[in-house]
């Protein structure tokens, strides 16, 4: 089953869920602030992102208040992947959303053109 980690007050998440509903995609909706993705899920997502030229930074909600308060733009370059994954797994507010993971699906953020290729 597809898991969609989302934040109810996030307009991008709302658009993404409407998109999935319109395509009649079945999914489990999980509140990302209350339950962050697991370290395994984050590692799996990172592997998929790297295959597409992405990096650990793509997992972070870089426009979020907490990201800025923690000055992660300065700290992230010197963090190990393990440290970054642990931090993300402990605080869902730091994770870019929506965070969508399934057997063959790995999406972070909502870009409709990209999602149309998957669904």
pLDDT confidence of residue 117? 94
CB contact at 8 A, 61 and 93:
yes
pLDDT tens-digit series, residues 26-85: 999 999 999 999 999 999 999 999 999 999 999 999 999 999 999 999 999 999 999 999
| Angle formed at CA 33 by CA 31 and CA 35, multiple of 5 degrees | 65
pLDDT confidence of residue 16? 98
pLDDT confidence of residue 47? 97
pLDDT confidence of residue 108? 97
CA distance 44 to 64: 23
DSSP state of 59: G
- Domain at 32, CATH number: 3.40.30.10
pLDDT tens-digit series, residues 82-112: 999 999 999 999 999 999 999 999 999 999 9
Domain assignment of residue 92, given as a range: 2-118
Domain count, the chain: 1
Over residues 11-26, the mean pLDDT reads 97
């Amino acid at each position: 089953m597809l898991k969609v980690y989302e934040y109810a007050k996030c307009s991008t998440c709302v658009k993404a869920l409407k998109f999935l509903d319109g395509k009649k995609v079945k999914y489990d909706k999980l509140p990302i602030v209350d339950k962050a993705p697991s370290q395994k899920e984050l590692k799996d997502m990172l592997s998929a992102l790297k295959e597409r030229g992405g990096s650990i930074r793509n997992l972070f909600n870089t426009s979020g208040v907490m990201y800025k308060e923690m000055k992660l733009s300065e700290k992230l370059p010197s963090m190990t992947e393990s440290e970054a994954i642990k931090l993300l797994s402990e605080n869902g507010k730091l994770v870019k959303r929506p965070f969508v993971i399934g057997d063959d699906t790995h999406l972070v953020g909502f870009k409709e053109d990209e999602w149309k290729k998957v669904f």
